[in-house]
Structures are given as C-alpha cells and as structure tokens.
Structure 1
Amino acid sequence: MARLRRSFRLSVDSRLLSPPAILAFVYGIFILLGAALLWLPISNNGTVTFGDALFTAASAVTVTGLVVVDTGSAYALLGQIIIAVLIQLGGLGLMTFAVLLLSMLGIAVALPQRIVLRDEVGQVSLSELGALVRIVFIVAAICQTLGTAVLMFVFVPEFGWSHGFWQALFHAISAFNNAGFSLFSDSLSGYVCSPTINITISLMFIIGGLGFIVLIDLFRVRSWHRLALHSKLMLVGTGALILAGWIGFALMEWSNPNTLAGLDSFGAKLLASWFQAVTPRTAGFNTLDYAQMHDGTTIMTMTLMIIGGGPTSTAGGIKVTTLIVLALATVAFLQQRDRLHIFGRSLAMEEIIKVLALVALSLFIILTGLFLMSLTYQGDFLDLLFEVASAFGTVGLSRGATAELDTFGRMVIIMIMFIGRLGPLTLGFLLATRASPRVRYPEGKVLLG
C-alpha cells in the first residue's frame, strides 16, 4: 500500500507534468485504451476498423457524440457497455474517478493530485475537493437512476425487459453526461412526439449542463438572495438561452415541411421546438433532421453549440458565464465604465482578461480546424462549419459531414473534440511559459477599432 501511495504522488513542478499536461495525458491514454477495446472482435460486428474505434472512443471520452459508424448496429453489447463507461469517465472526469477510488482504498490524495483535480473541476480552492467529488457522484447516481427508471416506461414495453432496461440506462448515462450517443440510427427522431422521452432526456442534460457547483449551491442555500454570483449567472443565462432558442427555433422552422410543419399537432411542434432549442447546449440528441433546417436555424444552433453549458459540468463550449461576462464587458466599454457590476457584485479585471483570452483561443481553434478540414473536404461549407462547431462544443449534432470525412478530417475533428473537452484555456496554460519579464517598458498608445 505504501508503494502504491508513493507511486501515485506525481510531481507537478515541471511544465511537462503541470496539471493541464497531466489531464491531457490521462484523457489521451483512456482514448487509446478505449479504442483498443472497441476494436476487439467481441466488441463489434466485424466491420469496425481501428480508425472507427479511435474516433468513437475519442467522441465518448470527450462526451461529444459525433460518430462515423452507427453505435447501435456496429457495436455489440460489450462495445456499447465500453462506450457507456467511457462516457461516464469523460463526463464526470477521469481524475474525479481516480480520487474517489483512492479515497475508497484509504489512500491519501497528495497535493499534486489535488491540484490536477482542482484544474479539472474548475475550482480555485483545494479545501473542499473531497466533498465535491462525493457530491458529484451522488448527484450523478441519483439523476441517472431516476432517468433510467422513467425511460423504462417507454423502452421496456417496446423492447422487453432486458433490452428495454439497457436502452433506458444507456440513454440516461448519455443524456446526463451531455454525450449525445444514441443506440438508434436516427438518434431520437422516432420519439419526436413522446413527452416522456423529450422531457426526461432534456431535463437530464440541462441538469448535467448547469454544473455541480450550481447544484450544490441550490441544495445548500435554497434562496435566490443567498446564492453565489456564479449560480445566479448560470441560472439566468441558461434560462435566457433556452427561451431564446425555443422561440427562435419555432419561428424559423414552423412552416418548414421537412421539420416542424411535418408534425401533426400544435403540441408536437412546441415539444420538438423545445428539444431542438436545448439540445445544442452540448447534448447532441435530435428528434428532427438538422440537415433539413433553414440556414438561419443552423447558424443559431452553431452559436448555441459554441456557447455550451456551465463550468464544472458535463457540458462543453466556452460556457454560459463566459458569454455573460463578455457581454457585460462590452456594455461597460460602451458606457465608459472601468468596472463590471452584476447582482450587487463587481468583477475583477483578471476575470475579464481570462474571458477575452478564452474567446480568442476558441475562435482561433474553430477557424484553424475549419481551414484544415476544408483542404480535403469537398462538400457543403455550412455542413463543415456545423461539424467543427459541434466538435468544439462537444455537442455531437451533425448534418452528415462527419461520416464523409477522410482520415485527415477525422483526426482534425478528434483534436478539436479533445481540446473542447479539456477547454481552450487548459491548452493555453499547457503551452504558456511563466517566465517573468526582466525588462519593463514605458506604456504606449495603440489605436483600436
């Protein structure tokens, strides 16, 4: 036991073993391990290549949901179980699982591992990480158990007890972790008019996308005035984005015969509009064909995919709080104010600079990925941009371009999904140096805008 404890105490003093580097290394190892397991003959139907398995494993660990082969038919039950495990590991965090396992074994978690865990869950303090890990697993277990139980009311009558239970469990895991993987070839299109499927699945990925810090705050405080600033921003921002997406999708697609106009009832149209409005926030499920939607709806969907969910959640994207701080900074600049104020609090300049860096890095990654993929992809440009935005936001929605990519295009998508899961700032911290400047220069003026 002592030897195991000593072997786990990694040094994070050097740049190569910094917390971002360790996170990237661990996620990369699990992607390769998952690919090897999915490539085994007992895990698939014999038509899956290693490239297919690698893409699926990367998509599962990064909880994206983009696929190049049909999950339900290409992979056997063992392969589907492996995908579900990879989704769970990637959604809740690999270091979170490691810390919980070590705690169960009675092995003390050293400071270096706490620093890595802090980076993964997006915290600034080391004091309550153990309690946070336990709460993360409790919340995940309760939500996925309840989700499975509700979904069984739909899937068990249709598929029988054993198959119906597995369908319910797989989709509950995928939904809560915002993965978007489905065992149906058309995602959830066959259940477009099912209130049980639409409401249960959407509530699960909305809860998972809020972030565990918000859920803990709501449980402990239960009063709006006493909520932390982060929780207030997430709740208001999430509600506003859902409402705007719901109304926007309904207005733009109501008369489209290939989407909403093809449904029979007013209630079905509202339900489908709701689901398509909330799923781009990194969930990846769909009940309508995104390839048949108007260009305006597609652009709105890409915007929602890039925004994503909340920090310390199972969602991706630049995050809702980033968008809010960016908007507040813009308003403050236009009003010539030097401080940002929201809900009786002010934000430090460090937070604003962090937001600007995150947005700049995100745009750079999206544009670079789009350029690289356009070198070999010959299809529609909007479809390609949609796939890149989906990969960066770890969403999983597709207009069909992913399945048509060559090996180079697939590798680019894998890298974008990988960066999107870790976060652009994690990549920036990994590449950045911390050398202090030895020479200070006088301030200068630069004309901007």
Structure 2
Amino acid sequence: MLQPIKKKRSFNPAQILALIYLGIITMGMLLLKLPWATHEPISWLTALFTSTSTTTVTGLFTINNVTTFTAFGDFIILILIQLGGLGVMTFASLMLLLMEKTITIKQRLMIQEALNQSSLGGIMKLARRLFFFSMFFEVFFACILGVHLIPRLGVMKGLGYAIFHSVSAFNNSGISLWSDSLMGFVGDPIMNVAISLLFMLGGIGFSVMNDVWDKKKWRELNLHTKVMLTGTLIVNCIAILLFLALEYDNVHTLGQLSIHDRLWAGYFQGVVPRTAGFNTIDITQLRPETQFLLMALMFIGAGSVSTGGGIKLSTFLCLVMMIISYIRKQKEPTIMRRSISVSDIFKALTISLISMGVILVAIFILLITEGHAFDFLQIAFEAVSSFSTTGLSNGITPHLSVVGQCVIMCLMIFGKLGPLTIVFSVASRSNDLIRYPNGKLFIG
C-alpha cells in the first residue's frame, strides 16, 4: 500500500524574517538575564520587554536602564540596537559575501523582504551600501560627539557615550545613557545638530541615500527620492513651527527656557517624533494638543527602508495625493508630474488601515487593563509610540500591568516588522484566475 507523501513545510520570506527577529529578541532576553548584565536581578518579563524594545529600536523601558544595566548590559543593548536598526538580513548577506558563499534565490528573496524592495535587481548592492552608510555615519558622528563629550566625562566614558549615542541615534532607537535622555543638552548646538542629523539620516531611508550617492543631480533622482527629500523638509518645518506655537508659553516645557534654548528645544522636539525617541524637554508636561501632534507625527513615521517606524512618509503622501486627486476629479493620483499606480494606492491604504486597526485594538485592550490608572490620551500616546517604534513616553510604561506590557511588546514587534510582513506571513495564496461579476456599492 502506497503511503501518502508528506509535503515538506516551507516558510515564505515574511515568515522567516519574523522568526529571525523573534529569535534575536529571545537571544537578547537570555543575555540580559545574565547576572553580569545588571547591577541587580531583573525578571524574565523585564528582560523580554527590554530585548523587544531594543531589537525593535523603540526605546521604551519598564525600568531605569541607566541604573539597572552594567557596561556589559549596555553593550548587549547596543548590539541589539544595531541588529534591529540595520537589519539582521543585511548582516547575514554581508557575511555570506565575505565568506564568498553563493547567495540563493530564497536568500535574496528574504533580503528583498527585509529591505522592502519591489524586485531582486541590485539587492546585494543596496545591502552593501546600507552597511557602508551606517558604519560611516555612526563612526563620523561618534568622533564629533566624542570630541564634545570627552572634556566633560573623561576619555573612556566620553568615548563610550559618544559611540552609544551615535549608534542609538542613527538607528532611531532613542535610547540614552542619561536618565533624563538629552534634557541636560537642551540648548547645546552640537548635541542637537549631531543627534538630529543622525536620526534624520537613518530615518530618510537607505534607498534615498543610495540614489543620491549614484546620481547626485536633482533632475536625475528617482521619484521616491525627490518625494522623500521634499516631504521630509516640509513636514519637519511644519512640525517645528506647530510645536513652537503650541508650547512656547508653557511654563513646564519651553516657557521656562531662555529664547536660545527655547528655539533649540522647539527644533529638536519638532523633528524627533517621526523617527527617534530622544527628548530635551519633559514629554509628560506637554499640553494635550501637543501630545496629539506628536502622535500624528509618530504615526506618519520615517522613510521606507530606513531605521525608523510608522506607516512611512511616502505612504502618507501617497494617501494625501489620492484624496486631492479624488476631490479634483482626476482619473489617477499624481505627484511631481508622475502618476501613482493603483497597486501603490492599494498598498498605502492597506498599510494605513491595518495599522490604525491594530492601534485601536491595542488601545481598547489597554483601556480595559490600565484605564483605572491612566487617562485615554496617556494610553493612546504610549500605544502609537510603541507601534511607530519611536519610544517617546508619557511615563506610564513602568507602571503597566503584565497584560499591558505584553500589548506594548506586540505593538513594537508589529511596528518593526511592518503590517504587510505580518499579513503576508499568515496569509494563504490567492487564486488570481478566479474572477467574479462586478457589483455596485454606494460609498459615502
């Protein structure tokens, strides 16, 4: 009697990518639980939360990371930040190249999934460039920060802090070795400029860097690069002006500072929410309307193929142009005299709606478990910050229940991997050969 042939289980690239990140988070948890990683023992949940937050480059903590972790623990956190921000598939592809191993189609597909590319062409070149850009900017700005911090902290400590904050900023983690983040440098031009340039470079997207490196002239750049550069400038300028207008006379934030420090703080906090979780003023003292502005910026997020999170600026701009074209009764959305494909519109809508749905479900659960202790805005702020992997906090994360911490961890993982990666990892293949009759729905 013939035995039925068992079909071998195979994982698609999205599933493999998700499993790799979960593996890194687990490894990070085990390392952070080692006795020489902390000054005092931490629970398994705390180790898991910290590993998740650092690997997803979010930067939320349930403990004081400055006083809890030793130098070894900080080193583990730094490695997790680098792996999470730059991407484990980038490191894997470079290791294969260094060992002169042949990279299979399946491995290229995994790298394509990790780098969010539409084709396999130039994947390895982009991965190499990505590593080069990361190392160059991290080393360059670490030198600048080192020159600035060594006179204050000493050689070893100053150099260590410079390296840590350079890596943390470029990878958009927002994790600092100071308990008050960067509040002690609110009016420091070098720290404000260096840190903000790092997280903006990391957040604009490696595809943009690669295109600028290759072409250099504006008219030769591809559409995505032009949209990202222009959109980033416009959104950042609007965010800075709105932040200054909303908080200028708030005595708990900008109002207590000199004009010089007030302008620097307004600039820094205006550009930071879309990408990183650093702060030079007390986030818990912001006015409700300012917190809502920060939530909107965090949800929009950074650029595609970057170290930042959110739905991505290109997704947001795609939806904006879709709305404008519909109002103008145009046949198709356009941007910079180029039409936007229907598939891009569907993708942008899918990402945005899934993201909003996940955030709303998370807020609903958090209201059930944490609503007795915190108000709606505090919970919503923390949920959006977790999903966008920004890491700005209203100060409620250390006080969350076990269920609340698990919800935040799920949001961080979901935000890091991206809605489509999660969906593709669980979705079954559809049959495009089946067609159905057209139907009519009354919309609006």
Whether these two folds match at TM > 0.5 is: yes
Q: Which runs of no fewer than 5 residues in structure 2 stay unpaired?
A: 1-6
Structure 1 residue 400 and structure 2 residue 395: aligned? yes
What displacement does 1:431 show?
Answer: 2.2
> What is the 5 A alignment of 1:351-370?
351-370=344-363
Q: Secondary structure at the match of 1:376?
A: helix
| Aligned AA (1:142) | F
- Asked if the contact 1:15/1:430 (under 8 Å) is kept, the reply is no
Report the counterpart of residue 305 of structure 2 in structure 1. 312
**Following the alignment from structure 1 to structure 2, what is the Cα–Cα distance between the partners of residues 129 and 75?**
38
Structure 1 residue 344, shift from structure 2 partner = 2.5
- Whole-Å separation in 2 of the counterparts to 1:238 and 1:16: 40
For residues 400 and 134 of structure 1, the distance between their equivalents in structure 2, rounded to whole angstroms, comes to 39
Q: Distance in 2 between matches of 1:448 and 1:171?
A: 50
1:412 and 2:407 equivalent?
yes
Alignment of 1:200-211 (within 5 A): 200-211=194-205
Given the superposition, is the C-alpha separation of residues 225 and 32 from structure 1 closer, same or farther in structure 2, using an over 3 Å criterion?
A: same
In the alignment, is residue 327 of structure 1 matched against residue 320 of structure 2?
A: yes
Q: Name the structure 2 match of 1:441.
A: 436
Matches within 5 A, 1:140-219: 140-219=134-213
SS of the residue corresponding to residue 68 of structure 1 reads coil
Take 1:277 and 1:386, find their aligned partners in 2: how far apart are those partners? Answer: 16
Residue in structure 1 matched with residue 369 of structure 2 by the alignment: 376
- Alpha-carbon displacement from aligned partner over 1:269-306 (angstroms, at most 9, x marks no partner): 11100100111012100001111011110000000001
Q: Note if contact 1:93-1:120 (Cα within 8 Å) is conserved in structure 2.
A: yes
Q: CA deviation at 1:128?
A: 1.1
Shift of 1:133: 1.3
* Cα distance between partner residues in 2 of 1:261 and 1:209: 30
Once the two structures are overlaid, the 10-residue window that deviates more, 63-72 or 306-315, is 63-72
Following superposition, the deviation at residue 131 of structure 1 comes to 1.2
- Does the 8 Å contact 1:179/1:283 carry over to 2? yes
Give TM-score, length-normalised by structure 2: 0.96
Task: Tell me, yes or no, if the aligned pair for 2:32 and 2:47 is still in contact at 8 Å.
Answer: yes
TM-score, reference length from structure 1: 0.95
1:106-162, Cα deviation, whole Å (9 max, x unpaired): 111111010010011011221211111111111111101111111113321121100
Q: Residue 422 of structure 1 aligns with which residue?
A: 417
The correspondence for 2:98, drawn from 100, 104, 109, is 104
1:401 alignment partner AA: I
Q: Report the Cα distance in structure 2 between the residues aligned to 1:335 and 1:157, rounded to whole angstroms.
A: 59
Overall identity of the aligned pairs, in %: 39
Checking the alignment, whether the CA contact within 8 Å between 1:71 and 1:184 is kept in structure 2 is no
Query: What are the superposed Cα offsets for residues 200-242 of structure 1, whole Å, 9 maximum, x if unpaired?
Result: 0000000000111101111111111111000011011111110
**Residue of structure 2 in register with 1:8 after alignment:** none
Unmatched tracts of structure 1, length 5 or more: 1-12
> Structure 1 residue 188: deviation in Å?
0.6
Q: How far, CA to CA, are the matches of 1:406 and 1:14 in structure 2?
A: 41
Do the aligned partners of residues 333 and 34 (structure 1) sit closer, same or farther apart at CA in structure 2, a change above 3 Å counting? same
Cα displacement (A) at 1:337 = 1.5
Aligned to 1:279: 272
Distance 1:27 1:330, change over 3 A: same
Residues 218-227 or 413-422, more deviating: 218-227
SS in 1 for 2:293: helix
> Where in structure 1 do 4 or more consecutive aligned residues deviate above 4 Å?
13-16
Matching residue of 1:53:
47
Q: Which amino acid in 1 is paired with 2:416?
A: R
* Cα deviation 1:364-400 (Å, max 9, x = unaligned): 1100111111111021211110000000100000011
Q: Distance in 1 between matches of 2:151 and 2:193?
A: 19
Q: SS where residue 306 of structure 1 aligns?
A: helix
Once the two structures are superposed, the pairs formed by residues 116-127 of structure 1 within 5 Å of their partners are 116-127=110-121
RMSD, aligned α-carbons: 1.3
1:447 & 1:401 partners in 2: Cα distance? 44
Residue deviations 1:178-211, cap 9 Å, x none? Answer: 0011111111111111111111000000000011
CA contact (8 A) 2:35 2:41 kept: no
Partners of 1:430 and 1:15 lie apart in 2 by 14
Task: Name 1:5's counterpart in structure 2.
Answer: none
Match status 1:342 vs 2:335:
yes
Determine the C-alpha separation between the residues in 2 that align with 1:430 and 1:35.
24
Tell me the equivalent position of 1:69: 63
Whether contact under 8 Å (1:178, 1:282) holds in the other structure is yes
* Pairwise CA distance, 1:435: 2.5
Shift in alpha-carbon separation, 1:237–1:14, aligned structure 2, 3 A: farther
Structure 2 contact 302–312 (Cα < 8 Å) conserved: yes
SS at match of 1:282: coil
| Aligned partners of 2:359 and 2:387 also within 8 Å | yes
2:128 to 134, 144, 160: 134
What's the offset of the Cα at 1:440?
Answer: 3.4
Could you tell me which amino acid in structure 2 is paired with residue 291 of structure 1? T
The alignment partner of 1:350 has SS state of: helix
Q: Which SS does the other structure have where 2:369 is aligned?
A: coil
Structure 2 CA distance, aligned partners of 1:186 and 1:318?
28
